[in-house]
């Protein structure tokens, strides 16, 4: 669907949603057409039944994404527009540019996701909206949350703010709804490195995190130093396949201690080594670096899974696309006799399907968000175990 003049909201004003429409026994949003009559709170709306469709919106960093998910687990449509090209020449995400790009991209991305789900600009068949409200870049988060609120009012459906980290945890459930509990999830992305025990959906215990750089950040910084471009993870992963992982003995911080991670010493070791040996083969450096990161990630995740008696180990976040990490996690889990769940690459990196899935669950366990919901760039995953 091509967005008409005026964007996605054009044409949506003809949809009126009388109290309770589509929400048995519900209150609904009333007063369409008169902004003064919009209730400040929508928390009295009923929660969706498992069959309800949720539109997810994700704009926390450099992916503009929208998806429609049925009953919290069936992806009906999912559209992701990456801003990688926009930020590549700066070697990292430029927050101001990211925010502006979300403003431009969100309308067509939403239009495509809605059309692919058989819906349209009036939100036909969409029962609720889920949107990432943190953590992330403040200007980027605001774009998605403002859009979600506007659509919530225009369509007369509730919306819910979703923690981006919790959304990553839900990505696994989209492809494998029958995962056994408890699970240990290793969430490794450009902005986060977390080891989380999930005893059931929504029940988390944080086991550890990074004390400095996130794993993806370390990949990106080392790749930049080696002149491999941005984003660094895929570039290092590709070239590392041609190098010798034992060429350099890089440090593996806290390898046998606790569940916290540190990658900044490793990053410095790479820089120091290359400066001392300017002729060092880049593929060897990349392979040794990748091996050091993966050794630490796998050792800690494996130990955590054993300590909590996990039935499976899951990966989440962009670094979960790393080929060595995936192979080593599968190997380790097979040896330990537990399940390994490696979501498809599309669900590892930022997407809105995981936001819709987490939002669907949140709507059923706490209800919709208030229209006064703000964004929180530093939102944390709140332990509930
Ligand atoms: P964020 O939004 O926090 O940046 P994403 O979940 O979008 O995180 O993941 C992006 C990160 O994943 C980047 O740091 C990128 O370098 C890293 N990444 C992507 N593919 C790979 C890979 N094959 N190996 C290692 N890191 C990867
Ligand atoms: Mg991203």
For atom 12 of ligand 1, which residue has the closest CA? 318
Per-residue pLDDT band for 178 (boundaries 50, 70, 90) equals confident
Ligand 2 centroid – CA 190 distance (Å): 7
Q: ∠ at Cα 135 (130, 140), nearest 5°?
A: 75
The structure tokens listed for 112 are 């495509």
Ligand 1 centroid – CA 143 distance (Å): 22
**Residue 50, pLDDT score:** 53
Which DSSP letter does residue 369 get?
Answer: P
The ligand placed nearest to the CA atom of residue 92 is: 1
Ligand 1: nearest atom to the Cα of 317: 6
Closest Cα partner for 359 from 152, 180, 156? 152
Exposure of 183 by Cβ count < 10 A (0-12 exposed, 13-18 middle, 19+ buried)? buried
Task: Give tens-digit pLDDT for 219-276.
Answer: 999 999 999 988 899 999 999 999 999 999 999 999 999 999 999 999 999 999 999 9
Secondary structure of residue 130 in the 3-state scheme: strand
Average pLDDT of 289-301? Answer: 98
Which DSSP letter does residue 370 get?
Answer: P
Alpha helices, DSSP H, located in 156-255: 164-175, 215-225, 232-240
Ligand 1 centroid – CA 307 distance (Å): 27
Mutational test site, ligand 1, from 189, 221, 224, 355, max ligand atoms within 8 Å of CB: 189
Q: Map out the domains of the chain with their CATH numbers.
A: 27-168+350-364 (3.30.420.40), 180-348 (3.30.420.40)
**Residue 358, pLDDT score:** 95
The ligand placed nearest to the CA atom of residue 63 is: 2
**Residue 62, pLDDT score:** 87
Kindly give, in sequence order, each residue whose CB lies less than 8 Å from that of residue 145, ignoring residues fewer than 6 positions away: 131, 132, 133, 161, 373, 374, 375
pLDDT of 333 above 90: yes
- C-alpha 150/C-alpha 168 separation (Å) is 25
**Residue 51, pLDDT score:** 55
Burial 209-229 (b: 16+ CB within 10 A, else e): bbebbbbbbbbbbbbbbbebe
The model's pTM is 0.84
Ligand 1: nearest atom to the Cα of 348: 6
Ligand 1 centroid – CA 19 distance (Å): 44
Exposure of 339 by Cβ count < 10 A (0-12 exposed, 13-18 middle, 19+ buried)? middle
17-31, 80-94, 124-138: segment of lowest average pLDDT: 17-31
Per-residue pLDDT band for 339 (boundaries 50, 70, 90) equals very high
Task: Give tens-digit pLDDT for 180-227.
Answer: 789 999 999 998 999 999 998 888 999 999 999 999 999 999 999 999
Mutational test site, ligand 1, from 219, 223, 239, 240, max ligand atoms within 8 Å of CB: 219
**Residue 134, pLDDT score:** 96
**Residue 93, pLDDT score:** 85
The phi, psi pair for 24, rounded to 5°, reads: -50, 130
Ligand 2 centroid – CA 84 distance (Å): 9
For residue 64, the cross-strand partners are 81
Per-residue pLDDT band for 17 (boundaries 50, 70, 90) equals very low
- C-alpha 75/C-alpha 338 separation (Å) is 27
Secondary structure of residue 314 in the 3-state scheme: strand
**Residue 175, pLDDT score:** 87
DSSP for 47-81 reads PPPTT-EEEEEE-SSSEEEEEEEETTTEEEEEEEE
- C-alpha 364/C-alpha 373 separation (Å) is 18
Ligand 1 centroid – CA 306 distance (Å): 26
Mutational test site, ligand 1, from 187, 188, 190, max ligand atoms within 8 Å of CB: 190
Task: Give tens-digit pLDDT for 298-329.
Answer: 999 999 999 999 999 999 999 999 999 999 99
Around ligand 1, the residues with Cβ closer than 6 Å are 61, 189-192, 216, 219-220, 231-234, 237, 317-319, 321-322, 349-350
Ligand 1 centroid – CA 191 distance (Å): 9
More confident residue, 45 or 244: 244
- C-alpha 363/C-alpha 160 separation (Å) is 7
The number of CA neighbours under 13 Å toward the Cβ of 317 is: 23
DSSP for 196-223 reads EEEEETTEEEEEEEBSSS-HHHHHHHHH
Burial 7-21 (b: 16+ CB within 10 A, else e): bbbebbeebebeebe
**Residue 49, pLDDT score:** 57
CB 76, CB 70: distance < 8 Å: yes
Burial 159-172 (b: 16+ CB within 10 A, else e): bbbbbbbbbbbbbb
Ligand 1 centroid – CA 211 distance (Å): 18
Kindly give, in sequence order, each residue whose CB lies less than 8 Å from that of residue 168, ignoring residues fewer than 6 positions away: 185, 187, 189, 192, 316, 317, 354
Average pLDDT in the chain: 86
Ligand 1: nearest atom to the Cα of 189: 8
């Amino acid at each position: 669907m091509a967005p008409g003049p005026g964007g996605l909201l054009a044409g949506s004003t003809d949809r009126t949603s009388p109290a309770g429409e589509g929400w048995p026994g519900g209150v609904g949003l009333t007063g369409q057409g008169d902004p003064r009559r919009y209730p400040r709170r929508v928390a009295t709306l009923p929660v969706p039944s498992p069959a309800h469709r949720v539109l997810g919106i994700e704009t926390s960093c450099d992916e503009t994404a929208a998806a429609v998910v049925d009953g919290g687990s069936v992806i009906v449509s999912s559209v992701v527009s990456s801003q990688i090209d926009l930020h590549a020449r700066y070697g990292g995400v430029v927050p101001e540019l990211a925010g502006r790009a979300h403003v431009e991209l969100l309308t067509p991305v939403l239009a495509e996701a809605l059309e692919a789900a058989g819906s349209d600009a009036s939100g036909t068949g969409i029962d609720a909206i889920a949107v990432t409200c943190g953590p992330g870049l403040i200007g980027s988060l605001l774009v998605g949350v403002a859009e979600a609120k506007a659509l919530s009012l225009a369509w007369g459906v509730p919306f819910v703010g979703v923690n981006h980290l919790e959304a990553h945890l839900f990505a696994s459930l989209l492809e494998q709804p029958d995962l056994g509990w408890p699970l240990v999830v290793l969430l490794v992305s450009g902005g986060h490195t977390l080891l989380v025990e999930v005893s059931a959906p929504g029940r988390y215990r944080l086991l550890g995190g990074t004390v400095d750089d996130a794993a993806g950040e370390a990949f990106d910084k080392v790749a930049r130093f080696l002149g491999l471009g941005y984003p660094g993870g895929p570039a290092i992963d590709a070239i590392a396949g041609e190098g010798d992982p034992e060429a350099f003995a890089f440090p593996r911080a806290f390898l046998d201690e606790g569940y916290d991670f540190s990658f900044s010493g490793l990053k410095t070791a790479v820089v120091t080594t290359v400066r001392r040996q300017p002729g060092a083969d880049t593929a060897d450096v990349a392979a040794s670096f990748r091996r050091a990161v993966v050794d630490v990630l796998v050792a800690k995740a494996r130990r955590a899974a054993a300590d909590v008696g996990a039935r499976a180990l899951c990966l989440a976040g962009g670094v979960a696309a790393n080929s060595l990490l995936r192979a080593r996690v599968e190997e380790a889990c097979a040896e330990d006799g537990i399940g390994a769940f490696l979501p498809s690459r599309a669900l590892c990196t930022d997407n809105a399907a995981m936001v819709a899935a987490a939002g669907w669950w949140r709507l059923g366990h706490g209800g919709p968000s208030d229209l006064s919901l703000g964004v929180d760039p530093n939102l944390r995953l709140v332990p509930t175990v």
